[in-house]
């Protein structure tokens, strides 16, 4: 879902005084380790939250975990033991966390299979959606932002800004419906739903083309909001960086305006955009629920939607856990990437 984002102020300007280079214990390694530890802590908090949700559900944990199934007394007793329901809440929590940590989310009654198996089967579709959306929106949004900053105050900038405002205010599911209406229902250019054309037996390149045609609309719908975000942040960030002293130094050196703009300014202006990608991935896993439902795509979002309506708590919380884990991993990768992009990061 759309994550609100502050659109001014970028992290590139303020910074501490210089320090003499310290090369005692590799600061890079310390940084990596600290980030890793933070990631683990965050995942543990996610597990605690998940546990709280199960506890919040009407009925006791076994009712929630059992979902709509009719269980025998034996099975219920087995579940009670498994989750340690006869023991203290703390022990229950620890058992629950241990199960999650081994990717054991329990049984999914609606799929008659372990929840983890269901999720693994649905993961690729969502992963494709997320990867395509992140890369597309980042490239397109940044290009818009650069273009707008290049022509700041001119008609091009105004046009782009208005367009961004519209994209920013339109929820993804409305874009999705609009796209279906125009490109699938009226123009009939693209398929209305699904991941592939069923029963056509496509292989090889034809299959890829078929899948791509099915993905154009959902990916576009997921992209628009973040195109606006990247565009707006990119523009603001570029304008802020262009005011900095080192840009004047670069011009004073007689570099071409292109080099000043695209090498000196852009590299600095991109830093806040990179940090956005983590938030975007997180919000895309949420948006996937809407988009996969609308386009009938067999991904994790659609799975979560089904799980909610069929009261399959195991599956639902499994999706939440796996999505969060994916976000944590992406964030970790971004932190590492950031270390390469911004040499100052070790100091923090």
Partner 1 sequence: MSLLHIDNLRIGPGRAAPIVEELTLSVERGETVGLVGESGCGKSLTALSIMGLLPENLRVREGRIRLEGQEIQSLPQRRLRHLRGEKMGMIFQEPLTALNPVMSIGSQITEVLRTHRGLSQRAARDRALDLLTLVKIPDAEARLDDYPHQMSGGMRQRVVIAIALACSPSLLIADEPTTALDVTVQAQILRLLKQLQREENLGLLFITHDLGVVRQVADRIVVMYAGSVVEEGRVDAVLDAPRHPYTAGLIAARPQGSFAAGTPRLADIAGSVPAPDARPDGCVFRARCPRAHPRCAAERPALDRAASGRAVRCHFPLTEGETA
Partner 2 sequence: MRGALSLLGRLARHPSGLVGLVLIVIIVAMSALAGFLYPDGPWTMAGPPRLWPGADPRFPLGTDTFGRDLIPALFYGARVSLLVGVSAAAAALVIGTVVGAVAGYWGGWVDDALMRLTDAFQTVPNFLLSIAIVGIIGASLPVITFAIAIVAWPMIARLVRADVLRLRTYDFVQSCKIIGMSDLRIVFQQILPNCLAPIIVTASVLVANSIIVEASLAFLGLGDPNVMSWGTILNIGRQELRNGWYLTAVPAVALVLTVMSLNLIGDALNDVLNPRLKERK
Residues engaged in binding partner 1 (CB under 8 A): 12, 15, 17-21, 244-246, 248-257, 259, 264, 267-268, 271, 341-344, 347
253 makes contact, choosing from partner 1, partner 2, none, with CB < 5 to 8 Å by partner type, with: partner 1
Nearer residue to partner 1 within complex by CB, 74 or 245: 245
Q: Of 148, 162, 111, nearest to 300 (Cα)? A: 111
Q: Where are the alpha helices (DSSP H) in the chain?
A: 27-56, 61-66, 73-82, 89-101, 115-150, 155-169, 172-179, 204-242, 245-252, 257-259, 266-295, 300-309, 313-341
Binding string to partner 2 for residues 54 to 93, with x set by CB under 8 A, is what? x-xxx-----x-----------------------------
Determine if 12 is a binding residue for partner 2 (CB under 8 A).
no
Nearer to partner 2, 174 or 263 (CB): 174
Q: For 298, phi and psi rounded to 5 degrees?
A: -80, 65
Q: Which stretch in 141-149, 245-253, 312-320, 336-344 sits in contact with partner 2 by CB under 8 A?
A: 312-320
Residue whose CB is less far from partner 2, 6 or 201: 6
Would you say the C-alpha torsion 275, 277, 280, 284 has a positive or negative sign? negative
Tell me, rounded to whole angstroms, the distance of Cα 308 from its chain centroid: 21
Region at 18 (left for phi over 0; alpha for psi -120 to 50; beta for the rest): beta
Q: DSSP states of 10-22 as a string?
A: -TTS--PPP----
Gap between the Cα atoms of 56 and 63, Å rounded: 12
Residues 99, 104, 110, 113, CA torsion sign: negative
Q: Are 321 and 105 in contact (CB under 8 A)?
A: yes
Residue 180 near which of partner 2, partner 1, none (CB within 5-8 Å, type-dependent): partner 2
Residue 53 or 255: which CB sits closer to partner 2? 53
Q: Is 283 in the site for partner 2 (CB under 8 A)?
A: yes
290 binds partner 2 (CB under 8 A): yes
Q: Which residues bind partner 2 (CB under 8 A)?
A: 1-8, 38, 41-42, 45-46, 49, 53-54, 56-58, 64, 165-166, 168-171, 173-174, 177-178, 180-181, 185, 239, 279, 282-287, 289-290, 293-294, 301, 304-305, 307-309, 311, 313, 316-317, 319-320, 323-324, 327-328, 331
């Amino acid at each position: 879902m759309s994550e609100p984002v502050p659109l001014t102020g970028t992290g590139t300007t303020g910074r501490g005084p210089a320090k003499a280079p310290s090369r005692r214990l590799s600061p890079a390694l310390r940084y990596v380790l600290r980030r890793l530890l933070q990631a683990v802590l965050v995942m543990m908090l996610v597990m605690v939250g998940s546990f709280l949700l199960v506890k919040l559900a009407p009925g006791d944990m076994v009712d929630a975990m059992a979902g709509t199934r009719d269980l025998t007394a034996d099975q219920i007793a087995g579940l009670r033991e498994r989750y340690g329901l006869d023991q203290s809440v703390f022990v229950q929590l620890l058992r629950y966390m241990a199960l999650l940590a081994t990717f054991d989310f329990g049984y999914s009654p609606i799929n008659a299979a372990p929840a983890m198996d269901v999720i693994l089967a649905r993961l690729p579709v969502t992963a494709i959606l997320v990867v395509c959306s992140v890369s597309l929106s980042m490239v397109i949004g940044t290009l818009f932002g650069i273009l707008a900053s290049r022509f700041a105050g001119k008609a091009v900038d105004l046009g782009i800004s208005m367009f961004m405002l519209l994209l920013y205010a339109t929820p993804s599911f409305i874009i999705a419906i609009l796209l279906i209406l125009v490109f699938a229902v009226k123009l009939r250019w693209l398929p209305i739903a699904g991941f592939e054309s069923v029963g056509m037996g496509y292989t090889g390149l034809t299959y890829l083309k078929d899948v791509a045609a099915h993905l154009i609309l959902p990916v576009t719908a997921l992209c628009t909001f973040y195109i606006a975000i990247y565009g707006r942040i990119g523009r603001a960030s570029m304008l802020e960086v262009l005011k900095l002293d080192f840009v004047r130094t670069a011009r004073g050196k007689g570099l071409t305006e292109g080099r000043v703009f695209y090498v000196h300014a852009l590299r600095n202006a991109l830093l806040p955009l990179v940090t956005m990608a983590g938030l975007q991935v997180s919000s895309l896993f949420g948006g996937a629920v809407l988009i996969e439902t609308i386009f009938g795509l067999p991904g994790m979002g659609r799975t979560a939607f089904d799980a909610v309506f069929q009261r399959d708590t195991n599956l639902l919380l499994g999706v939440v856990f796996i999505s969060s884990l994916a976000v944590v991993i992406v964030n970790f990768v971004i932190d590492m990437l950031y270390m390469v992009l911004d040499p100052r990061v070790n100091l923090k």
